[in-house]
């Protein structure tokens, strides 16, 4: 249930701010709000979403320039791109609301340049704020069910604290290495997904072209070497022409562009990923950018 802001909040409770109540952030913040040991504030650019969230969960609304008496112990971000994060953290100077020696957990999928920009920011350094690039995998249902996978990079301090918070909405948390390694791991993740979905699309296209009973095909192959999360969760929806399951084509285009840019810096020619990126761009050009990433099958006339 929503509550009115009371500036005399219990000082014994840690106060955290969650920014970004989108497809992923909305349920993630919901899980975190169930922790009675903390006070959770939320902010979303579209205020009506914040209002809706506060009707479902316990928390407080954050508004810029209205909480100068409150300093947060930590900030959790789940935004769509580099520009959004720079706008919130730097342009709107959200850093001034963070305590000295606090931390930022960034669940967004971003470029390595963004990680370096935040980590080297004067305000972050001056306040000794620990920054963790912590992208997630598991999709909308993973966020709703609280069983996301999180890969993160950053300093070795405060690991127990941030892990305890992330456990609210995840069941796999792995520290990969220093700053940037979380985002690099997410790039690996997205390349794996893109290749798998293209393979599924081609396989389904072949099966449909020969009028196979695709439900029986799934029964026959899903327990063998072809099995994958994508097959388990997208094969049936793909054959039924259903593509409203979370992670959108336009977001995958952004992620693949980031991954391929980093691959080029290492002189790696990722031909399959480049091909899949072009196919996603074709979908987006044909106004399918909001469909989920399994919609690659739509490029086959089956």
Catalytic residues: 186
Structure tokens at 266: 């290492």
Residues in the chain: 302
Number of neighbours of residue 28 by Cβ within 10 angstroms: 27
Would you say 235 and 218 are in contact if contact means Cβ atoms under 8 Å apart? yes
Number of neighbours of residue 241 by Cβ within 10 angstroms: 9
CA angle, 182 as apex, 79 and 179 as ends, to 5°?
100
Cα distances from 36 to residues 58, 99, 166, in angstroms, run 9, 21, 15
Would you say 300 and 287 are in contact if contact means Cβ atoms under 8 Å apart? no
Q: How far apart are CA 257 and CA 110, in angstroms?
A: 11
Q: How far apart are CA 77 and CA 103, in angstroms?
A: 11
């Amino acid at each position: 249930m929503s509550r009115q802001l009371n500036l005399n909040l219990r000082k014994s409770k840690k106060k955290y701010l969650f920014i970004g109540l989108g497809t992923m952030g909305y349920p993630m913040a919901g899980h975190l709000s169930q922790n009675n040991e903390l006070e959770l504030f939320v902010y979303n650019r579209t205020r009506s979403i914040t209002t809706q969230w506060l009707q479902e969960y316990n928390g407080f609304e954050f508004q810029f320039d209205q909480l100068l008496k409150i300093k947060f112990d930590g900030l959790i971000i789940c935004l769509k791109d580099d520009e959004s994060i720079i706008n919130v953290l730097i342009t709107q100077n959200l850093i001034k609301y963070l305590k000295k020696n606090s931390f930022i957990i960034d669940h967004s999928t971003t470029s390595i340049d963004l990680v370096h920009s935040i980590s080297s920011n004067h305000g972050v350094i001056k306040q000794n704020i620990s920054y963790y690039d912590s992208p997630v995998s598991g999709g909308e249902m993973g966020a709703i069910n609280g069983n996301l996978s999180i890969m993160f990079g950053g300093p070795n301090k405060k690991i127990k604290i941030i892990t305890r918070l992330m456990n609210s909405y995840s069941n796999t948390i792995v520290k990969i290495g220093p700053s940037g390694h979380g985002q690099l791991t997410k790039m690996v993740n997205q390349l794996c997904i893109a290749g798998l979905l293209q393979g599924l699309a081609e396989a389904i296209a072949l099966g449909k072209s020969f009028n196979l009973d695709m439900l029986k095909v799934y029964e026959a192959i899903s327990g063998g070497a072809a099995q994958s999360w994508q097959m388990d969760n997208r094969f049936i929806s793909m054959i039924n022409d259903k593509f409203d399951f979370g992670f959108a084509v336009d977001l995958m285009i952004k992620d693949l562009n980031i991954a391929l840019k980093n691959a080029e810096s290492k002189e790696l020619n990722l031909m399959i990923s480049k091909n899949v990126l072009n196919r996603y761009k074709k979908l987006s050009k044909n106004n399918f950018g909001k469909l989920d990433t399994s919609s690659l099958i739509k490029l086959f006339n089956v």
